[in-house]
Structure 1
């Protein structure tokens, strides 16, 4: 089993691009996680986020079938690139306006990207992580804004 059988380089790149705005936001804005009363939802959100990032970048071989064809792999690559570009544009708009609507759209889009990649790559755990992330993040965003 080679390096590229385990590491999904494109998935790793997409994850890195999606995490950068979170890091920038955390460094430039002060927010209090204590405003969220239900700590379990915060942990659910974090578990979904980090498991989704890990599973998008690393092929663990459990409940995975991979792409059904080369055409599906190309389709995944191009469509996910477009979705990640839209995600970055929405982050830029959110940084400028700081509106609640953009925060919800960002949450839904990030969860959709994880679930979409899980569906196209036939990765059941990635699909599940996307669902867990979206449900936890929607709750946290609602309480934080």
Structure 2
């Protein structure tokens, strides 16, 4: 299956992932936490995050942007839908109580979505961005939840 120059599915995935983050930011939550993180680490996380979101939508650096087969597409579709559903459920729980296990799940799930997308689409630049994002996001999450 071939995709066009823009991945509408990737755009939808990114949009769904952004909704709870925007709600969290609108509450003003998290701003005090981010002060405990060195600027270099925060910058690396943000570069990884922005690169992942952009590369989910645009096939930059990919010769052939698409899936190997219909079965591969269906696997990707259901796997990403399951990960997105888990992400949204954990956000609901996190809004109720900000615990380290929930925060770690909120760090791991988007990295898993980006990584799965990279593998399914053979998008190696996205894989690299996902690795940078995952490392930075996990480290920052752990630092922010230390007592």
- Give TM-score, length-normalised by structure 2: 0.89
Question: Which 4+ runs in 1 deviate beyond 4 A?
Answer: none
1:111-130 to 2 correspondences below 5 Å: 111-130=111-130
Q: Is the 8 A contact 1:64 1:124 kept in 2?
A: no
Aligned length: 140
Instruction: Tell whether the 8 Å contact from 1:7 to 1:59 is kept in structure 2 after alignment.
Output: yes
Q: Determine if contact 1:6/1:58 at 8 Å carries over to the other structure.
A: yes
Q: In structure 1, what is the Cα distance between the partners aligned to 2:98 and 2:5?
A: 38
* Contact preservation (8 Å) 1:41, 1:140: yes
Structure 1 gap ranges (5+): none
Aligned CA distance change for structure 1 residues 64 and 80 (closer, same or farther; 3 Å): farther
TM-score (norm 1): 0.90
In structure 2, the residue corresponding to 1:6 is in which secondary structure?
coil
The runs of 5 or more residues in structure 2 that have no matched partner are none
SS at match of 1:114: helix
Q: Is the 8 A contact 1:64 1:122 kept in 2?
A: no
Across the aligned residues of Structure 1 and Structure 2, the Cα RMSD in angstroms comes to: 1.4
